[in-house]
Structure 1
């Protein structure tokens, strides 16, 4: 199917827009399995989404099904730290009929959202940069969302706008922080509410077929995330098919897309030389104990005759999370293998992720203590014909480190976290982390702006990158305004000191990262 099919879906909705604003009939508001997500773990990780038999959703602070009542959803949210995908539609979006504004009470078919975020960062001796200095950027991001549903079923339509900028920084513009006046989502959807009947709890099993420009997150966000922390958004153009929904005992999600290249001063365009595809099964029949998610992701990349080589990477994997029966011990486990071809080399890489936590449910603040260990392979021998460096696809890096230094390749990362909620509107978390290269002959990607000195092929610089301590507090000031205050201190390890000396002629003991963030949403 030609890539312009999504444009056709967009255009055929336009003639109906004028009629829709005059719609008077009130119909049931049936949601399609979205959740209300938060950016990371903390006490909010104890929330679950409860979907009513009418397929409407409310939110509970209890981590399991409601005691004494028939459950209305199979979905159980992972308690693991910072692994919760953004909702679909995003959490700043509301159906107009549910906003409490009397003038909008009949607009059950229109989803809208308007969101503004400003973040001040203080970065002292940032190891990602090519010189040792202090940087105090201000990051601004504005998003707006419009979605039409139900009134034209099976046809639905979404547009999402983003404007991202950085001011007061010492470094040139980059597409992590800059993406002016951009459409990050424009897709049409065919939505068949009861195409697959209902599950044992009475929830519909819909079929959704999307085509166009899309942004979404899935699993634990480590391989596919829209990246809510970063100022700009990962997005794609192509097709996505979903069977079932989040409240069902099973769900299947598959896609074939091309990544969108974020251009700072031009309209973004898709990468015609790259295809990203995948499929995920969600099995929730035993979700009080365990949710199982087998999945597969793949990447095909063309040789452009320049800096980009031909690649074909296959990545089968499995994730399982849940709570040990009759305890407050939770777990989140994952294993990933990668094979294929990478620029003329054989690809053979792997990763495994382990997290165990305990929630003190009887304590007033509901603290959770957790231990995490992640191993992600790096290239063992730079001179052989096998590449062992793990491909992170389009994942979210921040769960690995609060300062955004670590990405999912060539890393060993033990971590201890504490999360608690001293007030309904206040969530606090903090932790201590250690970092080693999985292979001391492979690179540390984010060091020195990706220069050649981010790798010591001899291995003589060692494998110890560093360790860090971080703390964060999130406070909901009003129903429309959320604030976040965070600090992280990084202690440089021997590998970083050796590489900084080699390139810069100087090094430091560590770095400081402090930030203040305010997010304002038009609808509570």
Structure 2
């Protein structure tokens, strides 16, 4: 795979104009985005001329989901991006898709390619109106955060970081079919952060996607509604999301992005009545100032079957996912140094019970081994909600999520549920808990007074499923490859209790134009007995202890943020 890295890197860099200047702290070059945009356009024209074919191919892209593009642009974006459809999709075909989105909170995967990507024909330049075979995209995001006494850190006080993220995409489809390819670049940086910078905040000048694909549009015929059922085989580096995003996700909230290297085979597509997704991949290590590389010690593999024949009532997903890790003696964390093998069968069902309620239910069981211990863990989620008939589209949702924790540190059985590579933020906006060792009831209320303005209010509480296991991301107890875990986030005796705390969350989303989204959010977390007791039991910095030590405080926190997301094409 390493030779493939260098080939893809060279191919991608040849399409960009890269400034030779380097930041003092990195080895990755920066990008002139204005020049890059001009270069992409010139490249598109040159490819068509060299092939001796007209600049245009009006064949619709059958691999993209269907829907009304005009509604997507006008509608306020949800917690996760809405599926974007090509404007060239025939009107007659717009109602044939079997796909139904879930109404549950933040569980709809991003589109493939991502939502900010457009056909060159759609960017508004008349000269390019017939170039439907070239996908391009440019996106910028800036987020400011104010955190007060953040319990993810052993150090209290205030932090005021700025996060910057830039993305660019170029992809070829249709004109070279069945061969297609795409490259996605991302540059992630953080400024004014008083803590040690980790790979969750910084990953400068790297690739999220760089793959080749064979796409046979009608290889499996068509479904009962006439939707072509393709076979797609993709090889290379890829970042994508699937199922409810709890195990495979790009992780859009975070400043850096999950990506993998390997293969993906799809039988069918999102519009079909059934689809099968098979994959075998190695997760990519995010090296903050060097070119990322695959983790050769770990394989992630599985298959996902989706049945949409009855999608007006329920969509059914059954899947198997697994991890196999060869212990790395030089691994940064204790888990990295273990031989591990985890197998997880699971299912998910979501849909609507008439016009009364919507629902989304999943269950997963994990078996295998982790070092000398046998793995036996499980997790499930249940969400029901109702959207009321009113012009503001008010919705009330009730959620409960459970993930087992290690019951006994001495019994040679590991009961801690593993989220694999899933998202974190919807479990808690301030990122204090994830899908492990958790019991989390939540209630959420949403309404949209206008197409451009939306409000969200939520309340959640967090208990540990096992009080002898850890609360993941508190007191530097994370799995970062930068900050060592001092072990303050676990009490093996169980004497610290099991109540982590509860939080009030609020968000205001405003979309001034179809290509600019803004979000203002606030969360107040009130610490429970477990957090307060772990802070009190840790060495106090006030007593002259050497690092690591903990600034003793109440455990209550405040988190305020403002974000601007701009699609530049």
TM-score, with structure 2 as normaliser? 0.84
Q: 2:252 aligns with which of 217, 228, 249?
A: 228
1:28, CA displacement in angstroms?
1.8
Going from structure 1 to structure 2, the CA distance change for 1:496 and 1:48 (only over 3 Å counts) comes to closer
1:331-378 superposed Cα distances (whole Å, 9 cap, x missing partner)? 000000000011111000000100000110x21111110100001000
1:192, CA displacement in angstroms?
0.5
Q: Does the 8 Å CA contact 1:491/1:510 hold for their aligned counterparts?
A: yes
Q: Which moved more, 1:303-312 or 1:511-520?
A: 303-312
Q: Distance in 2 between matches of 1:305 and 1:442?
A: 24
Going from structure 1 to structure 2, the CA distance change for 1:21 and 1:317 (only over 3 Å counts) comes to farther
Q: Distance in 1 between matches of 2:350 and 2:400?
A: 15
Q: 2:474 aligns with which of 447, 459, 481?
A: 447
Number of residue pairs aligned between Structure 1 and Structure 2: 508
Going from structure 1 to structure 2, the CA distance change for 1:231 and 1:401 (only over 3 Å counts) comes to same
1:162, CA displacement in angstroms?
0.5
Q: Distance in 2 between matches of 1:211 and 1:219?
A: 20
Q: 2:64 aligns with which of 16, 33, 39?
A: 33
Q: 1:56 aligns with which of 89, 101, 116?
A: 89
Matched, 1:388 2:423: no
Going from structure 1 to structure 2, the CA distance change for 1:218 and 1:445 (only over 3 Å counts) comes to same
Per the alignment, residue 195 of structure 2 pairs with: 171
Equivalence map 1:100-139=2 (5 Å): 100-139=124-163
1:12, CA displacement in angstroms?
9.9
1:10, CA displacement in angstroms?
9.1
Q: Distance in 2 between matches of 1:415 and 1:368?
A: 14
1:110-131 superposed Cα distances (whole Å, 9 cap, x missing partner)? 0000000000000001000011
Going from structure 1 to structure 2, the CA distance change for 1:263 and 1:57 (only over 3 Å counts) comes to farther
1:33, CA displacement in angstroms?
2.8
Q: Does the 8 Å CA contact 2:149/2:555 hold for their aligned counterparts?
A: no
Question: Root-mean-square deviation (CA), in Å?
Answer: 2.7
Q: Distance in 2 between matches of 1:264 and 1:417?
A: 36
Q: Does the 8 Å CA contact 1:239/1:256 hold for their aligned counterparts?
A: yes
Q: 1:487 aligns with which of 522, 532, 549?
A: 522
After TM superposition, the runs of 4+ consecutive aligned structure 1 residues lying more than 3 A away are 2-19, 34-38, 41-52
Unaligned runs of 5+ in 2: 16-42, 478-485, 541-551
Per the alignment, residue 209 of structure 2 pairs with: 185
Q: Does the 8 Å CA contact 2:120/2:128 hold for their aligned counterparts?
A: yes
1:303, CA displacement in angstroms?
1.6
Q: Distance in 2 between matches of 1:354 and 1:12?
A: 45
Matched, 1:356 2:356: no
1:87, CA displacement in angstroms?
0.9
Per the alignment, residue 341 of structure 1 pairs with: 369
Per the alignment, residue 460 of structure 1 pairs with: 495
Per the alignment, residue 403 of structure 1 pairs with: 430
Q: Does the 8 Å CA contact 2:303/2:319 hold for their aligned counterparts?
A: yes
Q: Does the 8 Å CA contact 2:250/2:257 hold for their aligned counterparts?
A: yes
1:6, CA displacement in angstroms?
7.9
Q: Which moved more, 1:426-435 or 1:112-121?
A: 426-435
SS class of match (2:475): helix
Q: Does the 8 Å CA contact 1:32/1:55 hold for their aligned counterparts?
A: no
1:173, CA displacement in angstroms?
1.5
